[in-house]
Structure 1
Amino acid sequence: METIATRTANSYAEAYNKSISEPEAFWAAQAAQIAWYEQPKQILTTDANGFYRWFKGGKLNTAYLALDYHVENGRGDQTAMIYDSPVTNTVRKYSYSEFRDLVARFAGALRGLGVGKGDTVVIYMPVIPEAVIAMLACARLGAVHSVVFGGFAPHELSVRIDDAKPKVVVSASCGIEFDKHIPYKPLLDKALQDSQHKPDHTIILQRPYVQATMQPGRDLDYEELLQKATPADCVPVDANDPLYILYTSGTTGKPKGIVRDNGGHAVALKFSMKAVYDVDPGDVFWAASDVGWAVGHSYLVYAPLIHGCTTVLFEGKPVRTPDAGTFWRIIMQHNVKVLFTAPTAIRAIKKEDPDGTYKQMYDLPSLKCLFLAGERCDVATYHWAKDLLKVPVVDHWWQTESGWPMVANMAGFGLMPAKPGSAGKPVCGYKVEILGEDGHELIPSQEGYVAVKLPLPPGCLPTLWEDDKRFFHSYLERFPGYYMTGDGGYMDEDGYVYIMGRIDDVINVSGHRLSTGEMEEMVASHPAVAECAVVGISDELRGQRPIGLVVLKDGKKISEEQLEQELVALIREKIGAVAYFKNALVVNRLPKTRSGKILRKIIRNIADGEHYAIPSTIDDPAILTEIHNDLKARCIGNAFIQ
């Protein structure tokens, strides 16, 4: 007898199989769901490098799809965005018409500064409406935006400025962390001082809490500029033209500029809103994310607006703004249908309110589903959230590179039975395979490299910003014919995918992908350090956090406490507080292979209390006992927390 679960699986299976066996027909049908100025002439092609491209010849404008299209089709009075800022005690709603007019005017301001199609703009702002306005204004002009987390350290900002070479940087006088104001302008000034590239202008939004000091000629006041501006119309762009650059940590220390094109991005995001999240135009969708994340780009800004939803822009934290009930208050107050957040946020709420007392203060009839992504969701967090909210909890997996989900329980087809610990099944368009070292597909439940057979579906990165060679080397070279995700995992006999973590030295701290290789370079720069290893260990709240193991130079007299303080300050200065580097452990030596490779994974396993096999190539197995004892003495790692 056919059950509901069987019908769901068949519905998903039918769509998925067509997306793999007939990708051009499948995505042509999805492309018909958005408004083009000129229809694509070819659905799938390759460029001169042999890289795949979608919707060649099509012309569109992403800001038009997100705003003007809805105004023209009778949704002008619908709320496009709700700005909810408990840190400033502000709630404001913007209609589609109002938001379109603000975006058009700021686009005019940028145009007045010489910004046009193909130019780049860096946006360095907190989670406020003006950040979203700046993103959409760039899209309106055909300019390429690159959002950098507000408050990111000057070094990281200057590296991105040098790579993107923006004509203008848009920023604000401050951000707000709990009850503290973080001045941005001194950070921006230091970044501009250190960068080789000098933008023509900065545009500074003066928030009432901190007044930024302006440099005459270079720095322009946001409000003054907006008042003088003439609204700009949408500029048609090619489907393959870039919409934005989003930087993610690379293993070389130089961040990788992920490029997102206009056409594939719009088609994929429009498809995903119903197929993955099961939301309809007019529904309230909340991605509790910073605009600097891929989630913030895709599911705070572009996808919900392209789909005609109401999106929630939240300036605050899941706890202490003012309490662990903030998420539930927002869901109830704004009738949120779907919440999308990171497991870190749920763990923070669980830590502050383990019994869910705050939840009892709010009735949440509007909430139909909680989606989690950004890092692996542990089973305990999954069950806690499910028991508390009494709605389906869907763990799903994707990357900055993909721009939208790669593995999920696709709610639009009806939810299949969940398997805690699994991110679900491959999403339409992604032929996910688990490969061994030799590139052959592994049998079910055998752990290996998570890879996706080419072509990637629309919406994924077509290349890296001005670096095709690095794109090929980073993602396509290891397994010819496949995209290498950089994650390890396995697939069970039912086709459910389990993502086990990064296989390189990029770690995930509260959803921020950070390079331990870059941190090692910084630690090694300390005059007392002979050699070091930085590894990511498990952290109950953040998913992972970095620790440093340091071998001192002979004759250097420095206490472990002082060295740790200095290294923590160094990482904070160079990368920022997001790195959450708190521990530097002085050891006599590091575990290595005979060829000199540091056994970082084994260090991580020791700290996490996980089983490990001693490799035959190890130089001296006794060092592992020493590392174990050193970590235990400092109570560092889950295995040794007292």
Structure 2
Amino acid sequence: MNKKQADRPRPGQNDTNGGIAMGDYKQTFRRSLDDPNGFWAEAAEGVAWDKRWDKVLDDSDAPYYRWFTGGRLNTAYNCLDRHVENGRAAQLALIWDSPVTGQVAKYTFAELRDAVARFAGVLKAQGVGHGDRVIIYMPMIPEAAIAMLACARLGAVHSVVFGGFAGHELAKRFNDAQPKVMVTASCGIEPGRIVDYKPLYEHALEEATHAPETVIVKQRDTQRCDLTPGRDVDWDDAMATATPADCVSIAATDPLYILYTSGTTGQPKGIVRDNGGHAVALTWSMKTVYNVDPGEVWWTASDVGWVVGHSYIVYGPLLNGNTTVMFEGKPVGTPDAGTFWRVIRDHGVVSLFTAPTAFRAIRQQDPNGKRIGDYDMPQFRTLFLAGERCDPDTLYWAQNKLNVPVIDHWWQTETGWAIAANPMGLEQFQVKAGSPTVPVPGWDVRVLDGEGQEMPRGKIGAIVCKLPLPPGALPTLWQARDRYHQAYLEAFPGYYRTGDAGFFDEDGYLFVMGRTDDVINVAGHRLSTGAVEEVLAEHPDVAECAVVGVRDELKGQLPVGLVVLAAGVDRANADIQKECVQRVRDEIGPVAAFRHVAVVSRLPKTRSGKILRATMRKMADGEQIEVPPTIDDPAILDEIKLSLQDLGFRI
């Protein structure tokens, strides 16, 4: 399939009014903004309430809006108990597939409900109750999801920290959340290595000023650890004697969880998610955005340490009555680039949600997609990508090899669910490569200049969302309302600042070009580094790339490219570099002043797959950098540093 073919609507798609189909989407979107009370009250009928709300949208403390004030419910009940009561007791709720251990485990809704109730009893026996915080520091094992849901059952507030996170960073989260209990495991398992958790969390416990009183440890067969008497509790022993705990009815505005993101001050920001709005938004999104029905098998290939894992491994699919797949492995190396297709085949997955970086890794190892043909996947119908800007070349490759719709969509830890997407359950639009399509109903997205004025179509500016944000978005930061205001509301009064830059095209499609810092000024010309990345990614030998803007005395900033080559490429790097420079000159023009490109073995990324562009930019500018705590492999920074020095940057 060539690119012009890929841009055409598939059979059955509408392509009217400049590309935006005028049907259910337009009516639904308009109503969500004109009548948010009626719109979200209807959506809330998909959730079981102990007490209905007094107000759907409470604007009494604007701009700090709240949803469903006065309402009471329990999120874990909505995820599990109500499905057991309504005929899904024997349906699979959770499938754990772990190629790193060679194990698969399956839980029906009844079995998962019972495990969650029992572990809620374990937590309750340790004094955990409504409003108490629990840190969950776990690998991708079923016990991580069970612990999350058990907290929700009690009305406790969980804060999941990616398993294997550095002890110093874990200590910061202890100090901010002040948890009563930590739930962890003896180890995590990565391809080729075992991550011993105990030294990491012991470091955190020693450093923190507000360490948890109790540590509950799931001992893994791969590697067990010594337990500290008087503090540590063995998960299996506690579960064997626990009394199951009932669901606690809590306020819709009570927090369900805190999820920390790295702050610019070095102090982590605790994103708060409430119970009521979160349950309503995620339940509604499963059909509207992803078009999956209760009973179908859904797989999000992410980690519960990230927001995608919270929303669409654990809560969203279970709220909707789906079977959710939990995967302990990697897109390549466990054991090969065919592992995703094996999981889809084995478990009957209808839709996969993962990051573009996962597909770039698969493509690098299997550029012709030969392994896809090894697995029969007739039920598989949609691929969703998010978490990192999806370059058109990756989208075209996936479309061509899988022969299913490939849907890029855009959201953030703060928002909890999609801001912009191709709403598959409402109306399937023509795909435009590089665009997550249109704002999702509930999200009033605008593009503003530095003075807060709306930009004309086609012009890059700051992407913002008009307040109030829809249900499910963050209402505040944990114990930091002033910081919440400063970080998100202050720059553009009346709007939420996303921190991303982009534009609407003439057809109303949104293009997210990267973080605001990734729009650079080259001799007075505003240039998106994402646009340069698109050109580099089209080179047939390039599997993955990143472009950063670095300081230049003459032009202000210059774009610098780093490219990773596809497996099996056996050509001189110098030739590929020259071709990359020429491509950018041909496609974007001399105004880009693009002449610096380096070939590297891999790019520095977070564990969730986001490329650390800001770190590379600071490195090229000669600034002091702190190695981000979320980095997957710190050693790669040494290679990047040498590559930048070879390009002439004084680091």
Fold match by TM threshold 0.5: yes
Residue 571 of structure 1 aligns to a residue whose secondary structure is: coil
The whole-number CA distance in structure 1 between the counterparts of 2:105 and 2:649 is: 48
After superposition, residues 499-510 of structure 1 pair within 5 angstroms as 499-504=512-517
Give 1:460's match in structure 2, choosing from 473, 494, 498: 473
Cα drift, residue 255 of structure 1:
1.1
Cα drift, residue 254 of structure 1:
1.0
Cα drift, residue 93 of structure 1:
1.1
Identify the residue that residue 126 of structure 1 maps to in structure 2: 139
- Letter of the structure 2 residue corresponding to residue 324 of structure 1: A
The whole-number CA distance in structure 2 between the counterparts of 1:66 and 1:114 is: 24
Find out whether 1:399 has 2:455 as its counterpart: no
Identify the residue that residue 420 of structure 1 maps to in structure 2: 433
Give the direction of change, closer, same or farther, for the CA distance of 1:215–1:422 in structure 2 (3 Å limit).
same
After superposition, residues 220-235 of structure 1 pair within 5 angstroms as 220-235=233-248
After superposition, residues 57-456 of structure 1 pair within 5 angstroms as 57-456=70-469
After superposition, residues 452-601 of structure 1 pair within 5 angstroms as 452-504=465-517, 544-545=611-612, 546-547=615-616, 549=619, 571=627, 576-577=631-632, 582-583=637-638
Give the direction of change, closer, same or farther, for the CA distance of 1:200–1:47 in structure 2 (3 Å limit).
farther
Alpha-carbon deviations, 1:153-186, whole Å to 9, x = none? 1111111111111000000000000131110011
- Letter of the structure 1 residue corresponding to residue 647 of structure 2: K
Give the direction of change, closer, same or farther, for the CA distance of 1:167–1:384 in structure 2 (3 Å limit).
same
Is 538-547 or 81-90 further displaced after alignment? Answer: 538-547
Is 542-551 or 401-410 further displaced after alignment? Answer: 542-551
Residue 463 of structure 1 aligns to a residue whose secondary structure is: coil
Cα drift, residue 392 of structure 1:
0.4
Residue 270 of structure 2 aligns to a residue whose secondary structure is: strand
Cα drift, residue 5 of structure 1:
4.0
Give 2:50's match in structure 1, choosing from 33, 37, 51: 37
Give 2:647's match in structure 1, choosing from 632, 637, 641: 632
Give the direction of change, closer, same or farther, for the CA distance of 1:586–1:355 in structure 2 (3 Å limit).
closer
CA contact 1:550–1:584 (8 Å) conserved in 2:
no
Cα drift, residue 544 of structure 1:
2.4
Structure 2: runs of 5 or more not aligned: 1-11, 520-528, 531-547, 549-556, 565-602
The whole-number CA distance in structure 1 between the counterparts of 2:456 and 2:620 is: 40
CA contact 1:537–1:544 (8 Å) conserved in 2:
no
Give the direction of change, closer, same or farther, for the CA distance of 1:311–1:551 in structure 2 (3 Å limit).
closer
Is 40-49 or 297-306 further displaced after alignment? Answer: 40-49
- Letter of the structure 2 residue corresponding to residue 268 of structure 1: A
After superposition, residues 18-37 of structure 1 pair within 5 angstroms as 18-37=31-50
Residue 58 of structure 2 aligns to a residue whose secondary structure is: strand
Cα drift, residue 49 of structure 1:
6.3
Alpha-carbon deviations, 1:591-627, whole Å to 9, x = none? xxxxxxxxxxxxxxxx9xxxxxxxxxxxxxxxxxxxx
The whole-number CA distance in structure 2 between the counterparts of 1:552 and 1:131 is: 41
CA contact 1:146–1:245 (8 Å) conserved in 2:
yes
Give the direction of change, closer, same or farther, for the CA distance of 1:70–1:356 in structure 2 (3 Å limit).
same
- Letter of the structure 1 residue corresponding to residue 353 of structure 2: F
The whole-number CA distance in structure 1 between the counterparts of 2:447 and 2:67 is: 25
Residue 158 of structure 2 aligns to a residue whose secondary structure is: strand
Cα drift, residue 584 of structure 1:
7.9
CA contact 1:538–1:544 (8 Å) conserved in 2:
no
The whole-number CA distance in structure 1 between the counterparts of 2:33 and 2:646 is: 48
The whole-number CA distance in structure 1 between the counterparts of 2:58 and 2:280 is: 16
Give the direction of change, closer, same or farther, for the CA distance of 1:207–1:72 in structure 2 (3 Å limit).
same
Q: TM-score under structure 2 normalisation?
A: 0.81
The whole-number CA distance in structure 2 between the counterparts of 1:411 and 1:433 is: 22
CA contact 1:153–1:576 (8 Å) conserved in 2:
no
CA contact 2:420–2:437 (8 Å) conserved in 1:
yes
Residue 582 of structure 1 aligns to a residue whose secondary structure is: helix
Cα drift, residue 253 of structure 1:
1.2
- Letter of the structure 2 residue corresponding to residue 421 of structure 1: G
CA contact 1:551–1:586 (8 Å) conserved in 2:
no
Percent identity of the aligned residues?
53
